[in-house]
Amino acid sequence: MIRGAGRSRKRALATDGRTAISAYRDPDTDTTTIAHDGAILGRLELSGGYFGGPSSSVDTTHPIIGSLTVAGFDASDACEPTGEADTEEPGGCLILAVRDLTGITLTAADFQDPWTGALPRTAS
């Protein structure tokens, strides 16, 4: 996971079957951008548990997006998450997305201090 990195850096980190995500927070928005195998797959709105793709659409047939929809993130126009993703807490959605995409379980305490990132995970 990388914090606030540009699209080109995410694409570079997500080459050769790897997945990279970045988290961004400002006063009005909490989002995660997801890249896999050199391509940006989309943006996950952490405040609502739904997707917004590169052009306001997401390829729901992609296995990475599919794993997140199984976790309850909504890739439809309804923007209605379910299950674990149905939370009002953006941090909870980020923790769920990181766990699902990387296999790493974080806690809210992991976001208390400044952080800059980690290595991307190779697809299994």
Gyration radius of the chain's alpha carbons: 13
pLDDT for 114:
59
Write out the chain's pLDDT in tens, 124 residues: 444 457 777 788 888 888 888 887 777 778 888 888 988 888 888 888 888 755 557 788 889 988 999 999 988 888 889 998 998 787 888 889 888 888 888 887 876 665 555 544 555 4
CA distance 29 to 42: 15
Say if pTM beats, i.e. exceeds, 0.85: no
DSSP-derived 3-state class of residue 97:
helix
CA distance 84 to 27: 24
Question: Is residue 43 within a helix (H) or strand (E), and if so which, with residue range?
Answer: strand 39-45
